[in-house]
Amino acid sequence: MHEPWKSDKWFISPWNYLPEVTKRYRFPADMKIHDVTLRDGEQQTAVVFRREEKVAIAKKLDALGVHRIEAGMPAVSPQDRAAISDIAALGLKADVFGFSRCIPAEVKVVKECGCKGVVIEIPASDHMIKYGYGWPIERAMKASIETTLAAKEAGLYTVFFTIDATRTELSRFLDIVEQVATEGHMDALTIADTMGGTTPDAISHVVGKVIDRLKKPVEIHCHQDFGLGVANTVAALAAGASVAHTTITGLGERAGNVPMEDVVLSLLCLHGQNLGIRTEKFVEVSKFVMDLAKVTQPPNRPIVGEKLYEVESGIIAGWVRLARKDHPLEYVPFAPELVGQKPVNIVLGKNSGPPSIDEWCEKLGISATDEEKLAILQGVKAKSFEKKDLLTTEEFKAIVAGVLQKATV
């Protein structure tokens, strides 16, 4: 019997595959990841990628199997323009896109950089156009039409990117994008949840409405302000959106963009949708990008956290010791090697239990009675309380030596 919820690499809930659940899904066959680390990711406060660093990141993304790389916005600076040109000239498997405001001259520069496509941005909401830009609505519509037509004339794959789409009344939003599609040009439409203030149910509903109205590919661009960016992105894809905009490990302004690792692994393990991304490179690429960005991640960050596979709890240590040989997915939802993580490791701290002491005694070749092991455990807990951290090997050895020395007196 085929069980997609359980393989040699993951073991998740069979509820995900109940017919009553999956009958609603409309996942396209050709879903793609559009990485925006080099543009939107760099908008995170204090993050700066130099020209050569952007090129290096682009190479890593390409090796990862990312389908499209948004190399940046050439109008930002000469350095950005040079980096985009460098990336476009690499001959990557990934398609290289540039980013532009609704200004025809900026689209021309994207073309000159050698990009295959352009993402053209403008606010969708009347209030953002009025209060954020100080424009009349007519100006925004005219700029959208003229710039998208300029992109078509330049031969660029044109993605019309609607800033703040999700805070726009739905019928108004549909009218706006239909007008641009009809009088201007778009190969695809990006729905941007710029403030991260949408729910998965709302996203799912609207994506279906937009596809029905426009009859064009829909892309989804979410933010993490309410922690729903990943769920919203997956919901959009399940409703028929074909491209997800993401960054490496959620880099981005405010609460960040949607982390690519979370979206890809959720699709693979929870929904059986394989996008062809080399997930075993996740940790390597995340560390590379975050080091360049000088951004520190929580040690228990999903998928790529440095201590994600360290086990301190004595109860869980017991599970690991009993199951790791024949049933290693009893205590983790996905195998560490699936994402390039280190193997599960039992560590010593305040929450350790008897199985933890058994593990370390065996690892170090230490012989001790049950009574001595209990005394060692108490010493481990006391030391962890004292230093508010895990124990090193040398600290554990010192505790063991003290306990065993007392036993011989």
Give the model confidence (pLDDT) of 319-332 as tens digits: 999 999 999 999 99
Residue 303 is assigned to a structural domain of this protein: no
The tally of domains found in the chain comes to 2
Residue 4 is assigned to a structural domain of this protein: no
- Domain housing 383: 310-408
In this structure, are 277 and 355 located in the same domain? no
- Residue 76 tokens, joined: 């930002």
In this structure, are 324 and 281 located in the same domain? no
Separation between Cα atoms, residue 129 and residue 135, nearest integer Å? 6
Q: What is the mean pLDDT of residues 335-352?
A: 98
Q: What is the mean pLDDT of residues 101-128?
A: 95
pLDDT at residue 128 tops 90? no
CATH label of the domain that carries residue 95: 3.20.20.70
User: What percent of the chain lies above the pLDDT cut of 70?
Assistant: 99
In this structure, are 288 and 319 located in the same domain? no
In this structure, are 270 and 322 located in the same domain? no
Residue 304 is assigned to a structural domain of this protein: no
Residue 302 is assigned to a structural domain of this protein: no
In this structure, are 21 and 140 located in the same domain? yes
Q: Which residues of 160-188 are buried (b: 16+ CB within 10 A; e: fewer)?
A: bbbbbbbbbeeeebbebbeebbeebbbbb
In this structure, are 347 and 277 located in the same domain? no
Residue 305 is assigned to a structural domain of this protein: no
- Residue 202 tokens, joined: 């709302």
In this structure, are 402 and 316 located in the same domain? yes
In this structure, are 73 and 135 located in the same domain? yes
Q: How many CA atoms lie within 13 A of 155 on its CB side?
A: 5
Q: Which residues of 238-248 are buried (b: 16+ CB within 10 A; e: fewer)?
A: bbbbbbbbbbb
From the CB of residue 401, how many other CB atoms can be counted at a distance below 10 Å?
11
From the CB of residue 21, how many other CB atoms can be counted at a distance below 10 Å?
11
In this structure, are 281 and 345 located in the same domain? no
pLDDT band for 311, please (50, 70, 90 cuts): very high
* pLDDT 10s digits, 136-162: 889 999 999 999 999 999 999 999 999
Residue 2 is assigned to a structural domain of this protein: no
Distances (CA, A) of 90 to 15, 37, 93, 203: 44, 18, 9, 36
Per the prediction, the chain carries an average pLDDT of 96
Residue 299 is assigned to a structural domain of this protein: no
In the listed set 293, 321, 349, which residue is the last one of a domain according to the structure?
293
In the listed set 231, 264, 293, which residue is the last one of a domain according to the structure?
293
- Residue 95 tokens, joined: 């398609």
pLDDT at residue 110 tops 60? yes
Q: What is the mean pLDDT of residues 39-66?
A: 97
pLDDT at residue 407 tops 80? no
pLDDT at residue 409 tops 80? no
pLDDT at residue 296 tops 80? yes
In this structure, are 320 and 276 located in the same domain? no
Q: What is the mean pLDDT of residues 186-194?
A: 98
In this structure, are 119 and 241 located in the same domain? yes
* pLDDT 10s digits, 368-390: 999 999 999 999 999 999 999 99
pLDDT band for 1, please (50, 70, 90 cuts): very low
In the listed set 264, 293, 322, which residue is the last one of a domain according to the structure?
293
Helix/strand/coil for 325? coil
In this structure, are 140 and 49 located in the same domain? yes
pLDDT at residue 263 tops 80? yes
